[in-house]
Amino acid sequence: MLVLVAPGQGAQTPGFLTPWLDLPGAAERVAAWSDAIELDLAHYGTEADADAIRDTAVAQPLLVAAGLLSAAALGDLKDINPSAVAGHSVGEITAAAFAGVLDDTSALRLVRKRGLAMAEAATITETGMSALLGGDPETTVPHLEKLGLTPANVNGAGQIVAAGTLEELAALAENKPDGVRRVVPLKVAGAFHTRHMAPAVAALETAARELAPADPTVTYISNKDGKAVATGSEVISRLVGQVANPVRWDLCMETFKELGVTALIEVCPGGTLTGLAKRALPGVRTLALKTPDDLDAARTLVAETA
């Protein structure tokens, strides 16, 4: 059984889209998406520097576009035939397109509004995120909550990302939970997946009213609780609310286990989720689509899990 997954913000690097645009029809597809959302995706994916693509309003649509483009290069979804799809944070919108809940253009229009709304929400209070290296979730989570922080990403494989105000994060750096070796500040614009993103939720609720979602054609696993979601309307509702609530990727991987997943392919810019899977899902074959050079191996993996 195969699961197709899409990474979240932070996976992008300067120029990562360049080789994908050389594939037949790719540049034209990206140009059409760029026109639809009024953002030059080709420029940001090929020429822009790290600071430019770190901007939430840019990074999020760029990641969804890259995921859709690389999946299309792999083949028609009916031929790939994954048993399930999922995405980490903004990657959930990519997964919603994989599942047929949204068409590609609707997904990109939604993520453009998401990125803009989250960037604006991040300007209200100085906030940030820090990764904790080491530690046990049963000890770490209560410690974070005592400091007023949110465990914004519970990623499994011993990885938790805390989010909150800069003062709260400074207190965490001075007072680490037992077992945590290091607290590493992340280069992000705000405390995503926390109460600080509440204004973005309101903006997305308005945007969601313009959508006409279809029910998933493949099992769609939600970040909220790792559960499969059966209706398009519920997928959209969860996408909206998830902006201000923690990502539970650990529970998504637990569901992969329960489904009997034997292979995992991560779309471009792959690497983050396959790294987590290698630690948390021993025995599951993993492959990250980093460049088009990875497509042949991915097609072989698809064929072997058919």
Q: Determine the average pLDDT of the residues in 229-235.
A: 98
**Closest residue by Cα to residue 17 from 34, 5, 2:** 34
Alpha helices in 102-193 (DSSP H): 104-121, 137-146, 166-174
Catalytic residue list contains 222: no
Sequence-distant (6+) residues with CB within 8 A of 285 are: 262, 263, 264, 301, 305
Asked if residues 232 and 101 have their Cβ atoms less than 8 Å apart, the reply is: yes
Q: How far is the CA of 183 from the CAs of 8, 125, 131, 234, in angstroms?
A: 20, 21, 6, 35
Domains along the chain with CATH numbers = 2-122+194-304 (3.40.366.10), 127-185 (3.30.70.250)
Tell me the pLDDT band of 71, cut-offs 50, 70 and 90: very high
Q: What pLDDT does 189 receive?
A: 82
Catalytic, out of 88, 143, 193, 196 = 193
Across 219-225, average pLDDT: 97
3-state secondary structure at position 77: helix
| pLDDT tens digits along 113-137 | 999 999 999 999 999 999 998 888 8
Active site residue 88: no
Residues above pLDDT 90, as percent of the chain: 93
Q: Write out the two tokens for 199.
A: 């204004």
Q: At residue 306, does pLDDT exceed 90? A: no
pLDDT of residue 149: 97
Mean pLDDT computed over every residue of the chain:
96
Q: How confident is the model at residue 211 (pLDDT cuts 50, 70, 90)?
A: very high
Q: How confident is the model at residue 187 (pLDDT cuts 50, 70, 90)?
A: confident
The pTM is what?
0.95
Q: State pLDDT tens for residues 28-49.
A: 999 999 999 999 999 999 999 9
Contact 144/151 with Cβ under 8 angstroms? yes
Mean pLDDT of 238-262: 97
pLDDT band at residue 204 using 50, 70 and 90 as cut-offs:
very high
The pLDDT value given to residue 158: 79
Q: Please give the pLDDT value at position 188.
A: 82
Sign of CA dihedral 49, 55, 56, 61: negative
CA distance 211 to 192: 23
The Cα–Cα gap between 249 and 154 comes to 6
Question: What is the per-residue pLDDT for 78?
Answer: 87
Which pLDDT belongs to residue 186? 87
Question: What is the pLDDT confidence band of residue 290, given thresholds at 50, 70 and 90?
Answer: very high
pLDDT surpassing 90 at residue 246:
yes
Is the confidence at residue 159, as pLDDT, over 90? no
Given 89, 106, 130, 222, the catalytic residue? 89
Q: How many CB atoms lie within 10 A of CB 84?
A: 24
